[in-house]
Amino acid sequence: MDGLEKLRDRLPPFSQVLGVEFLEADTEHVRAQLTVRPELCNGTKGVLHGGAIMAFADTLGAMGTVLNLPEDGRTTTLESKTNFIGPAPIGTTVIGESTPLHRGRRSMVWQTRITNEAGKLVAIVTQTQMVL
């Protein structure tokens, strides 16, 4: 079973609310995209809300961890740090790619780079996932 098939059964419902579309997934990386819709934007500038960026990245890092767990394993986010670099306006698509920095028995650390369609950096997120 490939990574995308394995994830389909374990996707959090919130990822569907966000509109996350998974493109690639294996134990070494998770890649997905998200279309910037008005309901995901801040109220004043018409750009992707920081919370939506963080939720998108958190989903990718968590799913990367899931792909590295035993069948009955679970995970939860312990810590997340986001650097916001540039905007993502309504109607554009952002691409997130999450890769592991550490994969241990009790925790995993994933870094997610979020870029726009032109490849310009929107944010970098580093998160720690606890292995339950």
pTM of the entire predicted model = 0.95
* Alpha helices by DSSP H, the chain: 3-8, 13-18, 50-66
| Structural domain harbouring 72 | 3-131
> Are the beta carbons of 124 and 114 closer than 8 angstroms?
yes
What CATH number did the domain enclosing 37 receive? Answer: 3.10.129.10
What DSSP line would sit under 86-111, residue for residue?
A: S--BTT-EEEEEEEEEEE-SSEEEEE
Find the range with the poorest average confidence among 5-9, 13-17, 79-83.
5-9
User: pLDDT by residue (tens digit) across 12-44?
Assistant: 999 999 999 999 999 999 999 999 999 999 977
Domain count, the chain: 1
